[in-house]
Amino acid sequence: MTDLRKCKLTHKGLEYTGPVSKTAGGIRCQFWETTNPIHKPAEGIEDTNFPDGTKKAARNFCRNPTGQEDGPWCYSMDANLREDFCDVPLCIFTECRLSGPGVEYGGKVKKAGSDVECEDWDDEDRPVLFPNTKFPDESRRYARSRCRNPDGDPGGPWCFIENEDTEKEEKNYCDIPFCDDQGLKLWEPSMWSGAKVYLALSAIASPATGEQLSKWGAGIEITIGNTGSGLSAGSKDKDDDAELTPTPGIISGSKWSWFWLSWGGGFITLGKEGTIKPITIDEYVEENNILGLNPGSFQYYSIAGTGVLWSLPFCEKVTDCEVETTTQVDFPRLWPMKRSPTGYDVPVFVRATQSAFVELRPAPSISYPNIKTAKDGEIKVRISLSTLGDHLFLYWTKDIGTQTVLEVKHSAIRSARWFGLASWDTTAHWTMFCRPDEGHQPPEAMTPECAISQAEVGYHGTQWVTDTGRACIPWTDERIPENLREDKLYIDRSRVNTRNYCRNLDHDPQGPFCYVVVNNEVHRQYCRPRKCRTSEECTVLTRGSGTGRPIYILPQWRKTGLHFWLKEWDPDHSDGIVFILRPLEGVHYYKLTIGAENNEKVLFTYGDGKDENLLKEKALPHLIPIGKWGGFWLKILQGEVLLGYEGVDNPLFQWTSTKPEETFKPMLLTYTSLIDYSDGSRGPLADPEKVQQRPMC
């Protein structure tokens, strides 16, 4: 097994902390900090240049504080030799990679991620050959055509392949797994000094820095890094910019580090797994603020940082499906794509009001090339991205099934292995590789989570996003207008109790509002809470073959469609539903039958009171779902009728008149079941997720 004390993980070895203390020529090294040096150290070599934390801690071990290309070195104890490099070779791991770049990988994989055979590293026809020292095998010839990383590419091990289209040689990444994947770990070991993790714990779901959470009294922030760790925001006894506890080497590039947090009684403790002594114990503020509403309780967490891989099992139950919330396009967190028999997949569920983005990358540390997919408008759907060679497929899945939305081809797609989620200045909720739990669905449109009228003054629900999807800031923010800071204005009796929920404090006719930050400026935006359910939003059970009472066709139904939901009420007896469309006067009519012939067809006929003529039919098997609700929309125009699935713009059935004598403008609508069985229907404007079954309204 490789001894990590005697080898380096990167070519420069900036991260090396092993005990080698002799030059390559066998001469003993001088101490980095000594009162009587044989060779005076160069100016500019400071404690911060050493991964050990200080020059004193580095003793006389080989290090690379100056970033020399050839790796660790030291000042020698020979008066005739000022300095020399040390014999610290590259580590070699044959089954997996320890670090993100994987310079230490020396295994037998010789196919790129695109499943193409690699070219030989020692090919003499290649214009530039990497030096033997850049390979863990210590030779190009021994490396053969296997995946390696001789240039230290942060994307990981790679090889040369021949492009089938251009017949030219090009670089392509390989799929080399990590040796383990739990805890915190540096992606690139040489970046030990700049890598940090910021963990925020909060009582509200509003995007903010640790400093801002502290000002709001809504949360705290913990920083973990090799240059310092501890409570960086929200401390009761020290400023937010106070120095952290020195923690050199706390995050490694060669192994995963586990940490633990515990809190209670206003104190929080950070420690490293396997140690009894905590790194830091701090007191945070939870009096007369939002945190004080539920002492000792944090409802949300967020994590960000630079150059760190992490896997933190916050959920105690394996069955928990964690919800990721995004508010902007910065992709602070990336996940590995899921391997499939044909390529790689990204299955996610997303709920957003305005936009949602998915970005694909070769590696977390590589911003380009990347592939971004975006969807504008309100979204509530399961999305799947799948790659196959140079091809990318985007699918979405609803109750009606799965549809292909996008198919593109680009050479950058074959190297995509990681994905990130984002939304453009709006709030989006995601789950990955799992279906969101029922508890993560929006609350039902019942009081207090709804508004009776647009200008609702008494709204006291928990909505914390505006109608544009932006997250509200707390009412305790110092930038809230002065005339809205009096506690008596709040239905919750105080600004603190109101958190960052939408309210209508000054009887604004536009309705409940809150304040959001746009380009570092605070603006009022309206929330538009859902209207409380009314008698128009109900479930009805149609039965029989009568035409029922006529309903006027509203103008908006012609423009945006009549929205309704259907399901087969009795699975043993298939039935359908019939819409009769009539003018204000006259006996002629159109008949639209959905689920005809045992739920196999859609029929559209014209009747004149005596005979019926079939104008169009289309086979659509199992159109009405059994046992679950299926959403539809119906647009009724003069000379044209369109039927489609809820959430899908393209119609599944469309009739356009070709005969003037059979064309009229429908003004009235009736509906009934097709035969003497039962269908369940909901409508005309209700969402089945928001309405319970009720008798006929």
Q: Assign residue 375 the CATH number of its domain.
A: 2.60.120.200
Counting Cβ atoms within 10 Å, is residue 604 exposed (0-12), middle (13-18) or buried (19+)?
A: buried
* Per-residue confidence band for 320, with pLDDT thresholds at 50, 70 and 90: low
Q: Do residues 579 and 659 both lie within one domain? A: yes
Output the CA angle 591-593-597, nearest 5 degrees: 135
- With residue 496 as reference, give the H or E element that holds it: helix 495-498
Region 616-642: what's the mean pLDDT? Answer: 87
| Contact (CB, 8 A) for 62 and 19 | no
Q: Do residues 433 and 465 both lie within one domain? A: no
DSSP 8-state secondary structure symbol assigned to residue 606? E
**Residue 177 dihedral angles phi and psi, to the nearest 5°:** -70, 160
98, 312, 385, 387 from 408: Cα distances, Å: 34, 34, 11, 10
pLDDT in tens, 549-591: 688 888 888 888 888 888 776 666 778 889 999 998 888 999 9
pLDDT at 319: 52
- In total, the chain counts a number of residues equal to 697
Residue 35 lies in a domain: no
> Would the pLDDT of 536 be above 80?
no
* Per-residue confidence band for 469, with pLDDT thresholds at 50, 70 and 90: confident
pLDDT in tens, 398-433: 666 778 888 898 878 888 888 988 887 778 888 888
Residue finishing a domain among 532, 551, 573: 532
> Would the pLDDT of 692 be above 50?
no
Region 54-76: what's the mean pLDDT? Answer: 96
* Per-residue confidence band for 4, with pLDDT thresholds at 50, 70 and 90: confident
Residue finishing a domain among 389, 410, 440: 440
Sheet holding 371-376, edge to edge: 334-336, 418-422, 355-361, 371-376
Q: Give residues with Cβ within 8 angstroms of 21, minimum separation 6.
A: 28, 29, 59, 60, 61, 62, 74
pLDDT at 368: 75
Q: Give residues with Cβ within 8 angstroms of 124, minimum separation 6.
A: none
Structural domain tally of the chain? 4
Q: Which of these, 440, 441, 434, 443, lies nearest to 321 by C-alpha position?
A: 434
> Would the pLDDT of 597 be above 70?
yes
Cα–Cα distance, 555 to 532 (Å, whole number):
23
Cα–Cα distance, 259 to 250 (Å, whole number):
10
Q: Do residues 334 and 296 both lie within one domain? A: no
Q: Which domain holds residue 558?
A: 538-683
Q: Do residues 429 and 483 both lie within one domain? A: no
Cα–Cα distance, 308 to 194 (Å, whole number):
10
Residue finishing a domain among 440, 474, 490: 440
Give CA 340 to chain center in angstroms. Answer: 20
> Would the pLDDT of 694 be above 60?
no
353, 471, 514, 595 from 459: Cα distances, Å: 21, 18, 12, 42
Average pLDDT, the chain: 84
Counting Cβ atoms within 10 Å, is residue 625 exposed (0-12), middle (13-18) or buried (19+)?
A: middle
| Contact (CB, 8 A) for 541 and 677 | no
